[in-house]
Homo-oligomer: A and B are copies of this chain.
Amino acid sequence: MKILVLGGDGFCGWPTSLHLSQLGHDVVIVDNLSRRNIDNELETSSLTPISTMGVRLEAWKELTGKDIRFERLDVARDYDRLLALLENEQPDAIIHFAEQRAAPYSMRSSATKRYTVDNNTNATNNLLAAVVESGQDIHIVHLGTMGVYGYGTAGMKIPEGYLDVEVTTDEGERVSQSILYPTNPGSIYHMTKTLDQLLFAYYAKNDELRITDLHQGIVWGTNTPETELDERLINRFDYDGDYGTVLNRFLVQAAVGHPITVHGTGGQTRAFIHIRDTVKCIELALGSPPERGERVRILNQMTQTHRVRDLAELISSLTGAEVAYVTNPRKEDPENDLHARNDLFLDMGLNPTLLDEGLLLEVTDIAGRYRDRADLGKIPARSTWTRNQAPGVPEKTPTATD
């Protein structure tokens, strides 16, 4: 298959691009390097020393003989170039990662709220409008988030995208309906993925586009078999308070000698997936597209749920790192249970990578290898959800720049 990977320079996009190329697909990466530019803005960087796109693709060619091409293009802005790319490349599928993906960054300021809404909504709409205008029958695979559902239910497992409900008619009759699961996003970032859902539903209905929306859990781990081949292929590893996600953040904290910062009571339960399973799920989703005219195919791309404080205590026991319970910068329920279905991927043959001490220690090893690159002052989460929250800074924190 000819596949475009929008956002193919990012944490999920890069290993996905390599995985699909390794499988023999013809991959074109489309990216505006926004993730690297936001690092510049935040004065931080990947803990791992990621190579430039030029070096990455040269190394991949050298090691595997396979070509991946790169188009530097802003999907949210450069509509005409995007359309021309579709017309020239005639892709079979497009993987859409081209969105700002950090909840804390999206809550940092009015400017980042506005950037996140503007970028994510226009990127998605531009892609959809361009596919319609091209007249091509391209399967679109989008990375959504489990966060569209919110983190509580009325007592059922979170289904995959659609919820069966009963409504009562004016005559008192009960009627069953299958509806998009009512959303309850916890940040501006998560909210943009609920907007994406409505865009997808509309274009699937009006234009019969074939769309798969993958509601992904929090990704942990950093390497896949392909990124491990050579240091020039190494994946990014975010450890700062805005882009470092919870499990990986704990692992890097343990590796660099920073307390493991748990927000509030750590009673939040979240869904997780290992980066190896992310790339496998995308492979599976590509192999199982919806038909034209079908509703959006929605799958939960997660394998396990964990309570945050349990993860902190586990990593503490494995590594000896101290756990610091800090103020929660987010506005969220202090405690929640979470049960979600992921039958669709299991039925397709996904063999989940479960939480495992060896895999956890592997991440800590990688983080430890690059610990000198870490700016400890960047670790605490400082973006607050409203003026009533405070940054999640431990009392006695190692301060490098802060």
The verdict on A36 contacting chain B, using a C-beta distance below 8 Å, is no
A174 to B170, CA, bound (A): 20
A310-333 CB mask vs B (1 if < 8 Å, else 0) is 000000000000000000000100
Distance in angstroms from A75 CB to nearest chain B CB is 12
User: Of B121, B167, B199, B202, which is within 8 A of A156 by CB?
Assistant: B167
Whether the pair B202, A188 counts as a contact (CB closer than 8 A) is yes
Whether the pair B155, A170 counts as a contact (CB closer than 8 A) is yes
A interface list, Cβ under 8 A from B: 79, 83, 110, 113-114, 117-118, 121-122, 125-126, 129-130, 132-133, 135, 154-157, 163-171, 173-175, 177, 179-180, 182-183, 185, 187-188, 191, 194-195, 198-199, 202, 206-207, 331, 339, 385-387
Known: A167-B156, A170-B157, A175-B155. A110 touches B129 (CB 8 A): yes
Per assembly, the copies of the chain total 2
Distance in angstroms from A46 CB to nearest chain B CB is 29
With a cutoff of 8 Å between Cβ atoms, the chain B residues found around residue A387 in the complex are 135
Whether the pair A156, B133 counts as a contact (CB closer than 8 A) is no
Distance in angstroms from A395 CB to nearest chain B CB is 27
| Known A118-B118, A183-B198; 5 more pairs at CB < 8 Å | A117-B122, A117-B199, A156-B170, A163-B167, A194-B198
Whether the pair A121, B117 counts as a contact (CB closer than 8 A) is yes
With a cutoff of 8 Å between Cβ atoms, the chain B residues found around residue A83 in the complex are 110
Whether the pair B195, A121 counts as a contact (CB closer than 8 A) is yes
Q: Please classify the interface of chain A as helix (H, G, I), strand (E, B), loop, or mixed, using the class held by over half of its residues.
A: mixed
User: Of B164, B188, B207, which is within 8 A of A168 by CB?
Assistant: B164
User: Of B155, B180, B206, which is within 8 A of A385 by CB?
Assistant: B206
A122 to B117, CA, bound (A): 7
A177 to B166, CA, bound (A): 10
User: Of B110, B169, B179, which is within 8 A of A133 by CB?
Assistant: B110
A114 to B82, CA, bound (A): 13
Distance in angstroms from A341 CB to nearest chain B CB is 10
With a cutoff of 8 Å between Cβ atoms, the chain B residues found around residue A113 in the complex are 125, 129
Distance in angstroms from A199 CB to nearest chain B CB is 7
With a cutoff of 8 Å between Cβ atoms, the chain B residues found around residue A174 in the complex are 166
> Which of A174, A188, A195 counts the most chain B CB atoms within 10 A?
A195
18 cross-chain CB contacts under 8 A = A110-B132, A114-B125, A117-B121, A117-B199, A132-B386, A154-B175, A154-B177, A155-B169, A155-B175, A156-B167, A156-B168, A163-B167, A165-B167, A166-B167, A170-B339, A188-B202, A198-B198, A206-B385
User: Of B125, B130, B185, B339, which is within 8 A of A202 by CB?
Assistant: B185
Whether the pair B122, A118 counts as a contact (CB closer than 8 A) is yes
A158 to B133, CA, bound (A): 34
Distance in angstroms from A171 CB to nearest chain B CB is 7
Whether the pair B110, A117 counts as a contact (CB closer than 8 A) is no
A6 to B170, CA, bound (A): 38
A168 to B170, CA, bound (A): 21
Distance in angstroms from A196 CB to nearest chain B CB is 10
With a cutoff of 8 Å between Cβ atoms, the chain B residues found around residue A171 in the complex are 155
Whether the pair B114, A129 counts as a contact (CB closer than 8 A) is yes
